[in-house]
Amino acid sequence: MNAREAALKALFEVEQNGAYSDIALKNILRNSNLSAADKAFASEITYGVIRHKTRLDEIIKSYSSIRLKKLSVWILSILRMGVYQLFFLDRVPESAAVNESVNLAKRYGHKGSVGYVNAVLRAVAKGGEPKYTSLEAYYSHPAWLIDLLCKQYPEDYKKILAANNRPAPVTVRINPLKTTPEDLANRLLAKGIDAGISDDTEGLLEISKFGDISALEEYNEGLFTPQDKGAYLAAKAVGAKKGELILDVCAAPGGKTTQLAEDSQNEGKIIAFDIHQHKITLIQKNAQRLGLSCICAICHDATLPKAEYIGKADKVLADVPCSGLGIIRKKPDIKWRKTPEDLAQIIPIQKQILETSSKYVKKGGVLVYATCTVNKAENHDVTEEFAKENTCFEKIHEVQLLPHLDECDGFYICVFKKL
């Protein structure tokens, strides 16, 4: 199996069986003998096709004599991969994009489909891109999501759409209890991994050419945690300090929980809630890897109050479940899976978690509400309603981070202080 075949198998799992692309690809690559470079190439093709699916289909339609619905998932995926390589991967020669696609068609199609794939891709290579008739086709987003972004961000929505189709930079948070940004950067650079200290966010490194991040010695030593800048800033907004009782009410997989522990120099008490027991185990493993002993992970539903912590917490972080529209760069499946109904159903849960979380905050304490979405109905609208109904809480900071402006996930952060 080569890189292209691995990508094809992952795409088939996504299209045919409804698998999540990251899980499907991880399972396929784990059981392969591909080199690190080939695994990276397979990942690039898989995520690239999912990001640009509608645009790729528009190109194929312009040159195909067969309706796309009539094609098997295998052949349609092969065509999408071929077109993606022709238009989005400059380093791949045209001949390789076409010939390798034909080879895949020989394995996963029949004699007629081999000639069809060859003819379509050669015509695409010769004729180029068509004139796109809609934003939905050009930006490869569903119409409902384009409409939502257009209404909420009329000046920026096209920039957000374009940013969603670019791969996110990979950043890691250094563990200040074990290393420094300079020392970790030097260790990674010595291994051929590009590592640069963030210019505007202390404690983060941007890395590339790293292969399997969880296989790195530095990761297993607990020197760093993969984390986006937006998530990092959400946890920073809590302002964790030594000796404080801090609750993280929607904690899994523990990225922000462990950051709160590191920021408190492992000398506070961090209580982490999650509704699923297997995720509690994940939080505990992350804490152990990082050498953190001040975290207590508890299986608990964040919508329900836990009596022993009411009025006791110095600070509370409510990074609530959301639509995830701010992390499409990392998880392009989201734009094809989510519906307007999903967004409407999650908002009452967000409101309930925020209301419950506020009960834990003692006088003078801090409450932080955060999401990884750009949907204002889940963000500003929720916190405005909360502030009107809870006058003992004052908004002291509110920010909406956007991928095209802030080079991070689309994160919303709102900080309240209890008067």
Residue type at position 323:
S
Task: Confirm if 317 and 249 have CB atoms less than 8 A apart.
Answer: yes
Residue pointed to by tokens 């402006």:
405
Spell out a b/e string for 344-360, using b for 16 or more CB atoms within 10 Å of the CB, else e.
eebbeebbebbbbbbbb
Q: Which of 94, 209, 145, 50 is nearest to 374 (CA)?
A: 145
| HEC profile of the chain | CCHHHHHHHHHHHHHHHCCCHHHHHHHHHHCCCCCHHHHHHHHHHHHHHHHCHHHHHHHHHHHCCCCHHHCCHHHHHHHHHHHHHHHHCCCCCHHHHHHHHHHHHHHHCCHHHHHHHHHHHHHHHHHCCCCCCCHHHHHCCCHHHHHHHHHHCCCCHHHHHHHHCCCCCEEEEECCCCCCHHHHHHHHHHCCCEEEECCCCCCEEEEECCCCHHHCHHHHCCCEEECCHHHHHHHHCCCCCCCCEEEECCCCCCHHHHHHHHHCCCCCEEEEEECCHHHHHHHHHHHHHHCCCCEEEEECCCCCCCHHHCCCEEEEEEECCCCCCCCCCCCCHHHHHCCHHHHHHHHHHHHHHHHHHHCCEEEEEEEEEEECCCCCCCCHHHHHHHHHHCCCEEEEEEEECCHHHHCCCCCEEEEEEEC
Residue 372: active-site member: yes
Which residues have CB under 8 Å from 45's CB, separation 6+? 3, 4, 7, 81, 84, 85, 89
CA distance 83 to 120: 9
Of the residues 250, 294, 322, 372, which is catalytic?
372
Active site residues: 372
